[in-house]
Chains A and B, each alone.
Chain A
Amino acid sequence: MDRYVKQRLFGVLVRAATALVVGVMLLVVGVTIVRGGAALLGDPSIVFTPPGSRYMLEGDGGFLHAVLGSIFIVGPATVVSMVLAISTAIYLQSDYSSERFSDTVNMFLNVLWATPPIVYGVFVLTVIIAVGARTSLFFGIVAIAIFQYPIMTRYTDEALRSAPETVTESAYGLGATRFETARMTVRAALPGVIAGIIMGFARGIGDAATVLFTAGRSTQMPAGLFEPATTLPILIFDQSTSFNAEVRSHAYAASFVLIVAVLALIFLSKLLAGRFARYAPGGRHS
């Protein structure tokens, strides 16, 4: 009977481990929402107010600069990265490249995918120094785009790979060119592709290490493409250890905004994936 007792104990163990991880997740989200929500409810206008002149010391004004900075940096970066990622994924999947070359590119993509974001930050900063520029919104976009590129490529590549081969064959069978066929494949894999792009956006908006040294860490409103800017994660990073309670509470409020944005993006990606699934062969018809 011993082996059945063992088996039951193991069942308890895996459930306990899962409960632990789910509990931790609820704790992290819960603390963020409660503490951030409290800070935000006290003065909701801080999200829409530009920072005051003594912002880092006394927390006068609000963090509109970081909200706008995040949007202005991650938005364009996502567009650039998306175009590159989809192109690369098509190149890897379709008949443009030999299998051997695809393997090589895949290996490099895997390495890029695993490269710590801080390395991208250091790389872009090195380039900034080399060309004699200064940290700015523009280089923030570059850094985030580089960071998102391998992530989005991986998602897109996976999505294209799961598209049924019959789509490709049918398109060729109708006399389509490689490019036209590839467009059909992307369409067949659209749910996965879109979900991947949104996940890339979510990762970009949450990352601090790449933009810490490249966007400028400014405490003023973004003034132009080549002027310093900041993002929400940088703001949280810098202000969460401040001695001023007001400055700290802005970090909590910013983390509320950030986590809500990320959760909304995940939700959106699942929703859109479901909606576009009807284009995918074998997908839901609604």
Chain B
Amino acid sequence: MSQQIALRTDDLAVTYTGNRNVEALKGVDVEFPENRLTAIIGPSGCGKSTLLKSLNRLHDIQSNVDVSGDVLLEGRSIYDTDEPAPEIRRRIGYVPQTPTPLPLSIYENVAYGVKIHGDYESKSDLDDLVESYLRKVNLWEEVRDRLETPAAELSTGQIQRLCLARSLAVEPDVLLCDEVTSALDPISAERVEETLESLKTEYTIVMVTHSMDQARRLADEVVFLYLGELVESNDTRSFFENPQRERTRSFVRGHTIAETDGDETNENDAEAESEPADEPVPAER
């Protein structure tokens, strides 16, 4: 079956030019099909987050990063263009790894991007938008009575869903998610996964994850990176059941073994470290 390609990279290379040069991505060609959820996996330090951030020019805000090659959104370059970066970032949204509320109320967090772009007619129009996107991420029922309270008072899991709503509210064509569940406890992570599951038929989602299980559960397509190079990309089923490359095979196998006996402790750790699901985050003193 032929899939419409929403986003693709063309020989994309990223170098960190700090004290010494580090080639984080070495010429990657990868395609992200429309209205599918693509998971980027690979061992830590393999360039997953680097790839994700170069997809919507977030490296622009760091001084010591060199990007070469190109990223094409619906066939048009996002680097070699007259369109300003903020406009590109509106079309390619980004949700960071750490749940990050803007220092605004819950309502204003969702309305932030919409207001900036002026994409609404009236106050009631904006109210409707906020409500519909909060519903979309299954957060509306939990927060409808306290829209004006600071977003920071929500639990980390709720904040992460709020971040999703905030990004969706500007109606991006593509949504980039950087390990959005890794900072959450298992229960909140599950809710965020459910949200992503329900969104993936409507949006092109690119998600970085360190968990094979999550990729297997959620993704339609899998991209496997190793040391800054693309090893294999395929649809999820073929990727896991019939890996083409030796490296993929050993990674999938190694991980399956490691995860089956590591999973238990991992989950316990996560539970011990993060906040219980629906408790507000304690204020910093």
Contacts and interface: CB of A to CB of B under 8 A. Distances in A.
A4 B86 CA distance: 9
Interface in A1-53: 3-4
Interface in A251-268: none
B282 interface: no
Nearest to B117: A3
Interface in B62-108: 84, 86
Contacts of B84: 4
A4 B116 CA distance: 12
Contacts of A4: 84, 86
Consensus secondary structure, chain B interface: helix
B61 to A, nearest CB: 13
B242 to A, nearest CB: 45
Nearest to A1: B84
Contacts of B116: 3
A255 B86 CA distance: 51
A3 B116 CA distance: 9
Contacts of A3: 86, 116
A152 B73 CA distance: 56
A24 B84 CA distance: 35
A123 B248 CA distance: 75
Interface in A33-84: none
B126 to A, nearest CB: 18
A106 to B, nearest CB: 13
Nearest to B87: A4
A240 to B, nearest CB: 44
A42 B84 CA distance: 60
Interface in B105-132: 116
A3 B90 CA distance: 14
A3 B86 CA distance: 10
A3 B115 CA distance: 13
A225 B84 CA distance: 70
Nearest to B285: A103
Interface string A173-201: 00000000000000000000000000000
4 contacts: A3-B86, A3-B116, A4-B84, A4-B86
Interface of B: 84, 86, 116
Interface of A: 3-4
